[in-house]
Structure 1
Amino acid sequence: MSDYLSTMLLTKKKEIDCVIRDAIDKVLVLRFGRASDPVCLHLDDILSKSAREVSKFATIVLVDIDSEDVQVYVNYFDITLVPSTVFFFNAHHMKMDSGTADHTKWVGAFHRKQDFIDVVEAIFRAAMKGKLIANCPLPPERIPKYELLYKNL
């Protein structure tokens, strides 16, 4: 993995709280997933290859979704599909309007490295303008499609 990508897998709520609080003037990319999932491994490869190019305006951190201590975040962001990627800027949750029903997170892997870089750059530009939601710069065919799963329905 790249020096720019956190090789430490966060497994504690306190660690996530600290990284959210301490990421100043950069987009914080939190990838929620598991190391055994092939789609997560594909996304991790893209994140690793992109980390150097986004390092001036983004920090990438991996979070173990199976850790008992991070379930508060898993539940809060309603992470039922992995990988799911959540973005922050100066401790504010950043959303992405990608034409899907859920703007709170990116579900699935990016198709290619440049797609990830474009999304993070769009979030950074929106954040610098004081916005909490960014428009997705990707064409619809490169946005993962999924069905929302509602619990207790």
Structure 2
Amino acid sequence: MSYVLRTLRKKREVDTIIRDTIDKVLVLRFGRSSDPVCLHLDDALCKSAREVSKFANVVLVDIDSDEIQVYASYFDITFIPSTVFFFNAHHMKMDSGTADHTKWVGAFHKKQDFIDVVEAIYRGAMKGKLIVSCPLPSERIPKYQLLYRDV
């Protein structure tokens, strides 16, 4: 459990934060606090939250909560951690060179990688784009086989 970042466990909380986050990127990290890859990602998110606070809100979503399963199903979250981005209640998509453009799967290697991705999504959203290109080189994009499958 992160004591710095807010953790959501109810569908209503997720609905509300998506609807109420205006003119900022909303970063929703789906995962669990006991998973080592999630903990690595949470560390980067915590260290970055203050730096991106002018243009992004970072929130954790507990994938083990029964009420959250509707979102896990909707976003096809089969690997954790998975990070989904919104801007003004619109789901932002990202071309990171993988087949899945709906979310970031895995942890970011460095805090700066996360900041770069959020900045790119914010700049694209401000230009009215709903899909943006990932600013990271392919070697810094996580590979699915290194992740834990959500069971």
TM exceeds 0.5? Answer: yes
The structural deviation recorded for 1:145 is 1.2
- 5+ residue gaps, structure 2: 146-151
TM-score normalized by the length of structure 1:
0.92
Other-structure match for 1:9 = 7
SS at match of 2:80: coil
Matches of residues 18-33 of structure 1 in structure 2 within 5 Å?
18-33=16-31
Overall identity of the aligned pairs, in %: 78
CA RMSD, aligned part only?
1.1
1:124 and 1:57 mapped to 2: Cα distance? 7
Other-structure match for 2:70 = 72
1:33 and 1:146 mapped to 2: Cα distance? 15
Matches of residues 84-123 of structure 1 in structure 2 within 5 Å?
84-123=82-121
The structural deviation recorded for 1:67 is 0.2
TM-score normalized by the length of structure 2:
0.93
The structural deviation recorded for 1:146 is 1.2
Q: Does 1:34 align with 2:53?
A: no
Task: Report the AA paired with residue 117 of structure 2.
Answer: V
1:109 and 1:17 mapped to 2: Cα distance? 24
Task: Report the AA paired with residue 19 of structure 1.
Answer: I
The Cα offsets for residues 2-43 of structure 1, whole Å up to 9 and x where unpaired, read as 8xx53x310000000000001000000000000000000000
2:107 and 2:33 mapped to 1: Cα distance? 14
2:144 and 2:41 mapped to 1: Cα distance? 16
Task: Report the AA paired with residue 88 of structure 1.
Answer: F
- 5+ residue gaps, structure 1: 148-153
Moved over 4 A (4+): none
2:92 and 2:138 mapped to 1: Cα distance? 20
Task: Report the AA paired with residue 117 of structure 1.
Answer: I
The structural deviation recorded for 1:47 is 0.1
Other-structure match for 1:150 = none
Other-structure match for 2:46 = 48
